[in-house]
Amino acid sequence: MARTKSFDPAQVLHQAMLLFWREGFRQLSLENLVQKLGVNRYSLYQTFGNKQEFFQQALVLYTDTVFNRLLLPLQEQQGKTAIVAYFRLLQRQLQNDQASAGCMLLNASLNAGQLSEESLNLIKASLRRQEESLKKALQQAMANNELNRPRDPLTASRFLASQVHAMVLLRQNAGKKRVHDVLEFMIAELEAW
Amino acid sequence: MARTKSFDPAQVLHQAMLLFWREGFRQLSLENLVQKLGVNRYSLYQTFGNKQEFFQQALVLYTDTVFNRLLLPLQEQQGKTAIVAYFRLLQRQLQNDQASAGCMLLNASLNAGQLSEESLNLIKASLRRQEESLKKALQQAMANNELNRPRDPLTASRFLASQVHAMVLLRQNAGKKRVHDVLEFMIAELEAW
DNA sequence: TGTAATCCAGAATGATCATTCTGAAAAACA
DNA sequence: TGTTTTTCAGAATGATCATTCTGGATTACA
């Protein structure tokens, strides 16, 4: 009866996610998407909806496969160990080439005016989850007497989240080596907490 | 002989700088500039050149009046005192309403693809100057034995510059109070160096 | 092999953008 | 007051964008 799709939607969405991640919603034109994905314009509309909806699906995929995966050490380990493991995993991820595109969530939130309400909500929820995970680990660390001096867990978790954002931002403007050195420095500071 | 301009170019450039700072090069259309500046389209072209050149002049103005002014404590004071004074001045500046637009240089560097080579050079030079100023102050601090343990001045200066960027970025996504608390936390950490 | 559904390429549409043009209004100075 | 230069408002131009349309090509199944 029906002709089959000549492309795999999941694979195309993954490629589109990498493109949206690097170029941003507004900068990446549909013309570019058609060319770089090798998929017909109209097929993209039929499969993924309009550009906003397409971006939203890419954002969800990014959150699931990149952002949340990075948070795993904070859920699998305890206290200060978990926090250091989180930064170590970040260190490894930032050495990937695609990390030079920064964080898709942060990039998107800086261009909030272009996004749908739905996308903004997803971004906010993800960043809050990051902060919450850090706060929980910090509370454990303090309960275990793992810190040299007491710190307010809420403010400290926001501080640490900011540190992560700073490293991701640095990766967008600088080379791998500089990021590696600064992040090692940061981990050393954290070990001395 | 000639009719006089009905606007003050310096004042208009200042307003344009605030707009470019908040909206970014691409997002801010000439249509918007004409409306919000209250100056005729053609007059803008005659006075400031095309959009790229207009943006470049706004960028220079920002660097002179905002970015470099923030670096003054690092040149006027010595060692650790200078660094803390720098963060304290940052704290004050970030409480201004216009600070919710973040840093024009960082915003621009994240959309590097849209900018002229000239603008990119100005941004790079400014960020390097920030790093250099911090490094000099750190070297003084270490020479004066003001730090509890030794740190590599180059990496530490890059770390501190990243801290500043993180606070500016945070200000774009969060309210004044949260920024204030996290920055106070950061200064307390720095005092314990 | 015929048919029916879906795919696809490129053109068409309408919006927005940066830039330039045109022609009339304004104002400084003689 | 008249001349001359610049200002200014809005239209014109040409590019790019998201989205939709059209008409033929493709392919699964009967």
Going from the first residue of chain A to its last (193 residues), give the mean pLDDT of each consecutive group of 10, the final group possibly shorter. Answer: 71 94 94 90 90 96 97 95 97 95 96 91 97 97 94 97 97 95 97 92
Residues in Cβ contact with A94 at an 8 Å cutoff, skipping those fewer than 6 apart: A167, A168, A171, A176, A179, A180, A183
Task: Say if residue B1's pLDDT is above 70.
Answer: no
Please write down the long-range contacts of B150-159, taking CB distance under 8 Å and 24 or more positions apart.
B151/A185, B151/B193, B152/A185, B155/A181, B155/A182, B155/A185, B156/A185, B157/B131, B157/B132, B158/A170, B158/A178, B158/A181, B158/A182, B158/B131, B159/A182, B159/A185, B159/A186, B159/A189
CA of A71 to C1' of C28 (A): 70
Q: Chain A residue closest to B100 (CA)?
A: A110
Cβ distance of A185 and B127 shorter than 8 Å: no
Torsions phi, psi of B45, nearest 5? -65, -40
Cα dist from A85 to A62, A180, B130, B168, whole Å = 21, 15, 31, 26
pLDDT of residue B7: 81
CA pair distance A163, A176, nearest whole angstrom: 17
- Average pLDDT on B40-52 reads 91
> Structure tokens of A154?
């809420």
**Pick the residue with more confidence: B78 or A134?**
A134
CA pair distance A67, A161, nearest whole angstrom: 13
Cα dist from A107 to A39, A104, B4, whole Å = 26, 5, 44
> Structure tokens of B180?
């204030």
Q: Are B94 and B168 in contact (CB under 8 A)?
A: yes
Cβ distance of B151 and A185 shorter than 8 Å: yes
> Structure tokens of A83?
């926090």
**How many CB pairs below 8 Å do chains A and B form together?**
77
Residue A43, helix vs strand vs coil? helix
pTM of the model: 0.91
State the nearest Cα–Cα gap between A72 and chain B, in angstroms. Answer: 23
CA pair distance A139, B61, nearest whole angstrom: 45
B42 nearest nucleotide via C1' and CA = D8
Q: Chain B residue closest to A192 (CA)?
A: B193
CATH code: domain A9-191 is 1.10.357.10
Q: Where are the domains of chain A?
A: 9-191
Within 7 Å of a protein beta carbon, the nucleotides of strand D are: 3-11, 16-22, 25-29
Q: Chain B residue closest to A186 (CA)?
A: B159
Task: Say if residue B3's pLDDT is above 70.
Answer: no
- Nearest Cα neighbor of A80 from A129, A32, A15, A151 is A151
- Nearest Cα neighbor of B14 from B63, B67, B68, B61 is B61
pLDDT of residue A3: 58
CATH 1.10.357.10 fits B62-191, yes or no: yes
pLDDT in tens, A96-134: 999 999 999 999 999 988 899 999 999 999 999 999 999
Within 7 Å of a protein beta carbon, the nucleotides of strand C are: 4-11, 16-22, 25-29
